[in-house]
Amino acid sequence: MTPADLPADLTTLLGEGAHGYFAGGAGDEITLRDNETSWSRYALHPRVLVDVGERDLSVDLLGRRRAHPVVVAPMAYQKHAHPSGELGSAAAARATGSVYGLSTQSTTPPREVAAELGDHDRWFQLYVFRDRQISLDLVAEARENGYEALVLTVDFPVAGWRERDKRSGFTVEHPIALNPDGPALTTEELFALHDPTLTWDDVAQFAEAAGMPLLLKGILRPDDAERAVQLGAAGIVVSNHGGRQLDTALSGADALPPVVDAVAGRADVLVDGGIRRGWDVAKALALGADAVMIGRPVLWGLARDGAAGAEAVLRQVVAELDTTLALLGCPRARDLDPTYVGRAPWA
């Protein structure tokens, strides 16, 4: 199994609506496709004759040492991928030592996911809705249940133009915090509940309400990264939301280096979008990221085989990173630097 092969028969497994929602992107899906190819526009520059007998994949994130740099990206409606839903992907995160990101639009309440995770690292992703009390209540629930950080997603004032969902009319049939008692709503109806008036001033308020470190997810410009740091963000997730929001937006891979320069070590920088292989993770770290988020491959593993499938996907990416560190002549993930990567001659 390779993560890249996984989607093959998932349309049959999930049905067209859920598959389109999970796999799809915005518009002509140019950004969706570019997210994956953007990592292959970088070439690795391996160093030889280095003792790589022992490798150390660990990284520091939010001031704590983590086993490796792979974080499970927050993703909505996971019970539509597998009946175990978020409990399945959380179990996979725990089993592989991956920090777990729980979506606001989770089909499992934050406290239940926390119970599954025990004392394992978890972050809570927040959307701000027109009814702000819903968001504030979720922050309180996250804080009470041991979520370590708040990941405020800032690239979703409105939903992207998602034609697969428009065509299929996919509806979310499981209870979620936004819509606890049903009825089933289309994703478009649910997305209309997001607050399009959110600004930097509100972010400051949520940062205060959070009482935990804040990461801003969905930043692609160095000037926005600077503003986030000024506001006291502990981290930035360089992301185009998996190509689901603004089609033809640049990839995380391309946006990352200027953001790393702007942040200049004052906050942690994560990146996501199209990261499928351990060597993609190594490139992200070499370009200055402290960690990465991985989205869809975890869902494909979950859809195929529940927690065990998601775990297999995460294990493989981490094992590929280990092999990559050995072959790059860089036994410690924390030592990856820009000398290990360059623009690919074929790009």
Q: Which residues bind ligand FMN (CB under 6 A)?
A: 22, 35, 73-76, 103-105, 125, 153, 217, 239, 241-242, 244, 272-275, 293-296
For residue 73, report the phi and psi dihedrals to the nearest 5 degrees: -70, 145
Q: Which of 239/324 has CB closer to ligand FMN?
A: 239
Say whether 185 sits in a helix, a strand or coil.
strand
Q: Select which of 19, 68, 194, 241 is catalytic.
A: 241
**Min CB(9)–ligand FMN separation in Å:** 18
Q: To which residue do tokens 């995460």 refer?
A: 314
Q: Closest distance between ligand FMN and the C-beta of residue 148, in Å?
A: 17
Residue 152, strand partner residues:
126, 216
Nearer to ligand FMN, 219 or 330 (CB): 219
Cβ distance to ligand FMN smaller for residue 82 or 244 = 244
Amino acid letter for position 6: L
* CB of 340 vs ligand FMN, minimal distance in Å: 22
**Across-strand partners of 122?**
100
Non-local CB neighbours of 248 within 8 Å, separated by 6+ positions? 27, 30, 31
Q: How far is CA 341 from CA 42, 47, 208, 257, 285, in A?
A: 6, 11, 39, 12, 10
CB of 226 to ligand FMN, least distance (A): 21
> CB-wise, 81 or 262, nearer to ligand FMN?
81
| Orientation of helix 252-263 relative to helix 278-286, angle to 10° | 30
Q: Which is nearer to ligand FMN, 104 or 108 (CB)?
A: 104
Catalytic (active site) residue 241:
yes
Whether 24 and 165 have beta carbons less than 8 Å apart is answered as yes
DSSP string, 5-44: GGGGGHHHHH-HHHHHHHH--STT-HHHHHHHHHHHTEEE
Nearest distance in Å: CB 32, ligand FMN: 8
How far apart are alpha carbons 218 and 209 in whole angstroms? 20
**Nearest residue relative to ligand FMN (C-beta):** 295
Q: Which residues are catalytic?
A: 241
